[in-house]
Structure 1
Amino acid sequence: MRNITLALLCTLLGAPACFAQEPVPSTPTTEEIVRSLNPTTAAQTRSLRGIQVVPGKEAAPPSIDLTINFPYDSAKLGGEEMLVLKRLGSALQDPRLASYSFLIAGHTDAKGSEEYNQKLSEARAKAAREHLIFFYDIDPKRLQAVGYGKSKLVAPDQPESAANRRVQIVNLGPSS
């Protein structure tokens, strides 16, 4: 029955729609976001992923990459993105993170010019920041928005991959 349903969908939607080119990443839970951004638990989480800390080298600040897709040529947030931002907003309200400041870093893939991608990544980071401030009452002093355009690809071997289109949240340390 499942194969018949899939075949019917492929017929209705067209064959290319049946073969996703890239896997859809799962949205982390609020607790996963808190653990990834909390300096006391992030090191434990990272070691589980096989990331090793080199003695004498400062560890990177706790961070998490979140997939917040935007419509083409837009910084407007849609429905699925609201779920990601809801979980992020709840995480930033959590008492374990309440005393920290965060960087909201927008990234794009390599399609388009450097200037275009830079402006787009800045607009998207700003949209996420403003949403968190307005809907989750996060103190604006705790959130910095910056765009990196296509300069920091997470998948450099696949520069046009959707994986590169992301918003990264980085713990900047105690807020002032």
Structure 2
Amino acid sequence: MNRKFCSLIFVAGLTATAAFADETIDMDKQPNLSADEIRASLFPHDDTGCDPIEAAKAKMTCMGFMPTPKVFSLPSKIVFKLGSAELSEEAKRYLNKFGPTVSVLEGTDLKVLITGHTDATGPHALNERLSQQRAESVKTYFVRNFGAPSANLVTVGVASSRLKLPDQPAAAENRRVEIGRK
């Protein structure tokens, strides 16, 4: 194959990857997403129409161009109370939209990443522990209420290292959970 042509393909691939890298859907701006829209964003079909969840269940892999999965940041109006990892009833209503997707991962090697965050108040060690607890509370909710396979749900706490509002480190909006793919 022509070297110039290969270089163009490589550069185009890098550009496409950079354009979609780490795209976060802020559910403050899109609060009415359906369970189907969430599934399609977390586990998008490739350009041939291959469903990655169904392919994984059959121990196969989709071979077409696969769009980059999205990350969901739960709405700021359902943030955690200061020092708490307890899910509010409104938070549970939002998490219910993810239930149909996480419940069908049994028998696959596909992983959902649940990331807990804190604001920048309090000692770092406490925030690390609290952010992990927030992620774990979401995982527990999915396992108990939707039968989601625990092994397919990966949790991580990042404390205040990735603030949603960096110019307001103590803002309640920083106390959140994000759900994406691992």
TM-score, structure 1 normalization = 0.63
User: Which residue pairs with 1:153 in the alignment?
Assistant: 163
Q: CA offsets, 1:75-117, max 9 Å, x none?
A: 122211110111111232368xx76211110011112221121
1:1-176 aligned within 5 A: 25=28, 26=31, 28-40=33-45, 62-67=70-75, 68-93=78-103, 100-172=110-182
**Aligned with 1:33: secondary structure?**
helix
Indicate conservation of the 8 Å contact 1:27/1:66, yes or no: no
Structure 2, unmatched stretches of 5+, are 1-26, 47-66
Counterpart CA distance in 2 for 1:35 and 1:156 is: 30
Counterpart CA distance in 1 for 2:113 and 2:86 is: 20
Deviation of 1:135 (Å): 0.8
Deviation of 1:36 (Å): 2.3
Q: CA offsets, 1:3-23, max 9 Å, x none?
A: xxxxxxxxxxxxxxxxxxxxx
Counterpart CA distance in 1 for 2:156 and 2:124 is: 15
- Identify if the C-alpha distance between structure 1 residues 72 and 155 changes in structure 2 by more than 3 Å, giving closer, same or farther: closer
Q: CA RMSD in A?
A: 2.5
Q: Which amino acid aligns with 1:111?
A: T
Indicate conservation of the 8 Å contact 2:114/2:178, yes or no: yes
Structure 1, unmatched stretches of 5+, are 1-23, 42-58
Indicate conservation of the 8 Å contact 2:117/2:157, yes or no: yes
TM-score, structure 2 normalization = 0.61
4+ residue stretches of structure 1 with deviation over 4 A?
none
Indicate conservation of the 8 Å contact 1:100/1:142, yes or no: yes
Q: Which amino acid aligns with 2:159?
A: G
Indicate conservation of the 8 Å contact 2:38/2:98, yes or no: yes
**Aligned with 2:97: secondary structure?**
helix
